[in-house]
Structure 1
Amino acid sequence: MFFPAFGFDLFFLLFVIVFVVVLVRNLREWSRNNASPRLSVPATVVARRRAHHYNGGTHTSSTSYYATFQFESGDRLELRLPWRDAGLIAEGDRGMLHFQGTRYLGFDRDSTV
């Protein structure tokens, strides 16, 4: 037997659970970033990408920008960039990367290269 009220309650409960999980995950990452030291490390930009997010229900979209930085040790780190910095960074750029955990703080390109 189909109970419309039960379906609504179940949908609402799933929505609340997903909302709480996402909220807890974001708060945990924010807290870890705040507890991490602010670092400034020489790095090279080895890749860039952008991710498009579409919401068909409201016909809206957004774009996220990412850059992968390689350190002198060979380790790599991909960070999400603010839109204002995304167009200023190109693959092959060398400079000083400023970050805190997974939070991008800035990139000062070497002017001698």
Structure 2
Amino acid sequence: MGFSDSMNGMSTFGTLFIAIVFIIVISTFIFVIGKSITTWSKNNNSPKLTVPAHIVTKRTETSGGAGDSSANTWYYVTFEVQSGDRMELPLRGHEFGQLAEGDKGLLTFQGTRYINFERKIEPRTS
């Protein structure tokens, strides 16, 4: 086995490795797109519901921001409905900022899609 035979083996391995990585990347991309379309379709086929709820907690998730890349922030609010069930829904930043833990009101949602939260102010008792 000479030097050129060894190089051909390495070349074949390199080509195979690149092909496998390419297939994994494309498969992941297709899976993520498919999952997003499935969630979007499921939400569109769900009824819009408006239910009494209160805000249990709020949280953010941030990624990126190192070096030259910009940071991305996702906003989530956990609502509890009268039955005691809880659901965490993603919101936009400006909606997130207008809500506070403990707020009570009417939550409107469709599947896993947040639509609106109308705060109800309770009268003070003295």
Could you state the TM-score of these two structures normalised by the residue count of structure 1?
A: 0.91
Measured against aligned partners, the alpha-carbon deviations of 1:10-58 in whole angstroms (never above 9, x if no partner) come to: 1111110000111111111111100100001110000110011227586
Aligned partner of 1:81 in structure 2 is 91
Which of 57, 75, 84 lines up with 1:65 in the alignment?
75
Written as runs of structure 1 = structure 2, the 5 A alignment for 1:83-102 is: 83-102=93-112
- 1:23 corresponding residue in structure 2: 33
Larger mean Cα displacement after TM superposition, 47-56 or 28-37: 47-56
Q: Say which SS state the counterpart of residue 57 (structure 2) adopts.
A: strand
Q: Which moved more, 1:68-77 or 1:3-12?
A: 3-12
Q: 2:51 aligns with which of 36, 41, 45?
A: 41
Quick check: which has more Rg, 1 or 2? Answer: 2
Structure holding more helix per residue: 2
Bigger relative contact order, structure 1 or 2 (CA pairs below 8 A, ≥6 apart):
1
Q: Following the alignment from structure 1 to structure 2, what is the Cα–Cα distance between the partners of residues 33 and 89?
A: 23
* 1:7 CA displacement: 2.1
Alignment: residue pair count? 113
Q: Which has the higher strand share?
A: 1
Which has the higher mean CA deviation after the structures are superposed, 52-61 or 39-48?
52-61
- CA RMSD, Structure 1 to Structure 2 (Å): 1.7
Q: What one-letter code is carried by the residue in structure 1 that aligns with 2:115?
A: L
TM score, norm. by length of structure 2: 0.82
Report sequence identity in percent.
39
Partner of 2:6: none
Structure 1 portions without partners, runs of 5+? none
Distance change >3 Å, CA 55–CA 20, structure 1 → 2 = farther
